[in-house]
Homo-oligomer: A and B are copies of this chain.
Amino acid sequence: MPVLVMKFGGTSVATLDRIRRAAKRVGVEVSKGYDVIVIVSAMSGKTNELVGWVNETSPLYDAREYDAVVSSGENVTAGLMALTLQEMDIPARSWQGWQVPVKTTSAHSSARIEEIPSANITAKFAEGMKVAVVAGFQGVSPEGRITTLGRGGSDTTAVAFAAAFEAVRCDIYTDVDGVYTTDPRVSAKARKLDKIAFEEMLELASLGAKVLQTRSVELAMRYKVKLRVLSSFEEQSDEAGTLVCAEEEIMESNVVSGVAFSRDEAKMTLVSVADRPGIAAAIFTALSEGGVNVDMIVQNISEEGRTDMTWSCPVDQIKRAEKAMDDAKTAGTINFNEVIADMDVAKVSVVGIGMRSHTGVAAKMFQVLSNEGINIKVITTSEIKISVLIDRKYMELAVQALHDAFELDKVA
């Protein structure tokens, strides 16, 4: 039998009624002849509750214990989904990460999947099971401890299963009906895209468009998994939602495909660092070893042997970053005056594979922001995107102005 992977996010399984609705969608695919692997997230709000408890208990928590606690939400949904399918007379059973086993690295709370042996589940399909319900977001380390894949990790679980089982497609059911040119809550003119290239989706995902976890798009691109994003709250055809696919499969597209933003960034500045060869390496090694994911980096011009180093990182890693810098100062590896955190910032980005062959996108973006009186704090660019860090209060204004200026409400 061909295998189909279906992933249901937290809002799609938020209540028993919604689990039933999701199960009905699964039933439709089973009736088409698929063996289905269902990946489930925790019921909406559950993971946040668990994360809140961990943070309150231990702000600089042991990530191994964080994972043990936070992974429990998915186990609950997996069992309930299996029971719901059984009630519909569909042979189903649940699997927790360690039971498959979903083998990951030991990088707790942001582990990477290394291998998904298919033998156990394939054997059950051969015995007549129609649906394997797998708890998303989690795996097991070589040491036998529970790992998690980072927020949104269930998307990655889904794509990894699609790759391991050579699934015909990986359908990501969520609370939106596809990928938009920007968040419709910020710009009323946002338009749903029928198709988007892996590379664009990758940038959008990493820039804060929370439709798919970045890692899941990377995996899908590498293993050529057909990835579809669609709503679990509407009747669906085979063409619904947005297909994330290779660039060659998209005939026409705008120069800019979308405007992304993120409120979860903070700007940190290390003031008056003693400049010397290797100082950047020292700073960012210390941050990396302290578990901080640095995004943008700016180094000011060095004067009289001292410089300022600025970077952005997720807001919830600020404590870790401060600790890493203080430790490095105490150890004598980095010399600086003070570290300043600015949490009132936002990142806004324009993304599009068309930027490879079109010039002037950056200039236009800066002009649009300037026209609105918005000051740019940090800039980074890649082949297909331009990102800026600005004051958070201007975020919505910037997104709307850019969406208008690049005419994203119109099809190319």
List chain B residues, Cβ under 8 A from A72.
72-73, 75-76
| Contact of A145 with B by CB under 8 A | yes
Query: With A58-B87, A75-B72, A144-B99 given, is the CB distance from A80 to B53 under 8 Å?
Result: yes
| Contact of A86 with B by CB under 8 A | yes
Copies in the complex: 2
Cβ B65 vs Cβ A82 within 8 A: yes
| Contact of A61 with B by CB under 8 A | yes
Cβ B83 vs Cβ A96 within 8 A: no
Within A65-89, which residues are at the interface with B (CB < 8 Å)? 65-66, 68-69, 71-73, 75-76, 78-80, 82-84, 86-87
Q: Name the distance in Å between A124's Cβ and chain B's nearest Cβ.
A: 12
List chain B residues, Cβ under 8 A from A82.
62, 65, 68
| Contact of A98 with B by CB under 8 A | yes
Cβ A99 vs Cβ B58 within 8 A: no
Cβ A80 vs Cβ B57 within 8 A: yes
| Contact of A335 with B by CB under 8 A | no
List chain B residues, Cβ under 8 A from A66.
79, 83
A393 to B199, CA, bound (A): 70
List chain B residues, Cβ under 8 A from A80.
53-54, 57, 65, 69
Q: Looking at chain A's contact residues, is the secondary structure mostly helix, strand, loop, or mixed?
A: helix
| Contact of A50 with B by CB under 8 A | yes
Cβ B57 vs Cβ A16 within 8 A: yes
List chain B residues, Cβ under 8 A from A76.
50, 53, 69, 72
| Contact of A19 with B by CB under 8 A | yes
Cβ A65 vs Cβ B53 within 8 A: no
Q: Name the distance in Å between A184's Cβ and chain B's nearest Cβ.
A: 32
Q: Name the distance in Å between A231's Cβ and chain B's nearest Cβ.
A: 23
A19-B57, A65-B79, A68-B94 are known contacts; what are 10 more A-B pairs with Cβ within 8 Å? A53-B76, A54-B79, A54-B80, A64-B93, A65-B86, A65-B93, A68-B82, A68-B96, A69-B80, A98-B98
